[in-house]
Amino acid sequence: MNKKEEPRDIKKGFIKKIEKKEKRKLRARGKKYQAIWFGMGLFGVIGWSVMIPTVIGIALGIWADRKWPGQISWTLTFLFAGIILGCLNAWYWVEKERKSIEEENKE
């Protein structure tokens, strides 16, 4: 490799890095207010993703306790199952959004 080619390669790499950062900065400026509402909406989606399975689990548990009374509390069992299912659901949404953001940053 010639010494004359080496500084050119470094310069091109540096220019590409600056271009990439500038594009990201301009995109972020355009989405400034959108990002706030997007974050609030994502919190809402995550909250509902956990709450709905939990409430359904509680309702199923109350129904099961009335239908089959016994020593096991079906309400608590289905409550925990609903919470676990809701947390997995929320994790799915967060992971999906994280991948989307990473793909956008690669551009």
Q: Look at residue 65 and give its three-state secondary structure.
A: helix
**pLDDT per residue as tens digits for the range 61-87:** 999 999 999 898 999 999 999 999 999
The residues, ordered by sequence, that sit 6+ positions from 94 with a Cβ below 8 Å of its Cβ are 42, 46
d(CA 19, CA 14): 9
pTM over 0.75: no
